[in-house]
Structure 1
Amino acid sequence: MKNKISDEITKIKKELYLKESIKYFDKKGFKNSKISEIALELDTSVGTIYNIFKSKEGLYLEYLIFKLNVFLEKLNSEKVDEPLLNLAVYLKYKYEIFIQIDENENSDKIKDPYFFHKLDIDNHPVVHEIHNFIEKQFKALAIESSYSHGHLAILFKKFSDGFIESYMIEPFDTNSIIDNTIKMFLNGVIKK
């Protein structure tokens, strides 16, 4: 009984600490964050955080999973019967941080190489659900290609990742980034 109670307390602490850490990571990103600062924000010790999350990367991984679940909820809530519009919604939320940068904010987090989930979460169920969302859009478009729809989904994700990585190197006007991504990708995929 004692272990069961202890496990439940740890689970509740983990949820509470993660909830507060989300605000911190949203402001600081991964690279600029410090467990000691997070501990101060949470009014706890560094050791307690390490006992629950094992490392800064472990805590950030939980943050990314939370963010990806929010991302998936947004995709599903705005899903329509038109696959191109669904791809545009996917890009809208993927590019959101780059499109809505406030000049008064500290924009260092966009230069954070870990922000765009560079940690290993490819096998997490939420990542598979997002991939399936993209794959369904290519199936609905009935694109003739030598690639499977699953491969097209991966290529589309990577192609849009490229826009983000190029923005981190040299910012550009993002007014038409969604339309440009879709047009450029589909021009390279659809056989004429």
Structure 2
Amino acid sequence: MKEIIKQKVLETKKNLVLEEISKIFESEGFSSVKMQEIANRLGISVGALYKLFSSKEEMYYAYIEYQIHRFHTLLLQKCSTSSDPKTCLQRYVELKFEVFASKRKALEDPVVGDPLFFVKMNTQKNDPAKPIFGFLADLFQRLDSVEPLKEKNYMKLAYLFNAFTMGYVEYWIHYGEKLDENAARVLEAFLEGMKA
């Protein structure tokens, strides 16, 4: 029991620190900030910071994982008021664009500039986005019963949809236009190619 309590305290501490680290990375980026600066801003020692994260890279992966979990929680909240899969897919697009637009500085960092960054992270770090893909796959399966789709592998559809919407984000990052695409239009463009 003592070990469980100790683990919960550590997780809570990590989440509080990640909340503050999120503000730092999203206002200043990742590469330019040193561990000492982060510790100073958090009001803790560098040693205490290294007890939570063994390296700056581990901290960044934890930050991304934390943001993915937050996104999943928000998505479930936004979809809790609707049983319509199409509405929930549209809310996914809206939320994705909103979240990425609010994190521009963090996304401009050279570390994340690697187009395969999220793919690499998912394969190296136990796929933190898996629950989101599972949720999307379930939505596509439900949608398929109403509007038949060509692809019957719903998990594959979830990954394709993620990549399709990510294309809008990447374009926005590289060309600087506003990320205010119409979510309904984006969803319809994807579904048009997937209709049976």
TM-score (norm 2): 0.77
2:172 is aligned to 167
**Helix, strand or coil: the match of 2:177?**
coil
Q: 2:105 aligns with which of 101, 104, 108?
A: 108
Distance 1:159 1:70, change over 3 A: same
Report matched runs for 1:114-153 at 5 Å.
114=112, 118=118, 120-122=121-123, 124=126, 126-142=128-144, 143-153=148-158
Does residue 1:82 correspond to 2:84, yes or no? yes
Q: CA deviation at 1:125?
A: 6.6
Q: CA deviation at 1:73?
A: 1.4
On the 8 A contact 2:137/2:154 being kept in 1, the answer is: yes
Distance 1:177 1:151, change over 3 A: same
Q: CA deviation at 1:72?
A: 1.3
On the 8 A contact 2:69/2:128 being kept in 1, the answer is: yes
Q: Percent identity?
A: 26
Q: CA deviation at 1:96?
A: 0.7
Give the counterpart letter for 2:91 in structure 1.
V
**Helix, strand or coil: the match of 1:159?**
helix
Give the counterpart letter for 1:93 in structure 2.
L
1:19 is aligned to 19
Q: CA deviation at 1:9?
A: 9.9
Give the counterpart letter for 1:66 in structure 2.
Y
Structure 2: segments with no counterpart, 5+ residues = none
Q: CA deviation at 1:47?
A: 3.4
Give the counterpart letter for 1:25 in structure 2.
F
Q: CA deviation at 1:108?
A: 3.3
Q: Distance in 1 between matches of 2:133 and 2:121?
A: 15
Q: Distance in 2 between matches of 1:100 and 1:128?
A: 23
Q: Distance in 2 between matches of 1:173 and 1:25?
A: 21
CA RMSD after TM alignment: 3.2
2:98 is aligned to 96
1:104 is aligned to none
Count of aligned positions? 185
On the 8 A contact 1:35/1:56 being kept in 2, the answer is: yes
TM-score (norm 1): 0.78
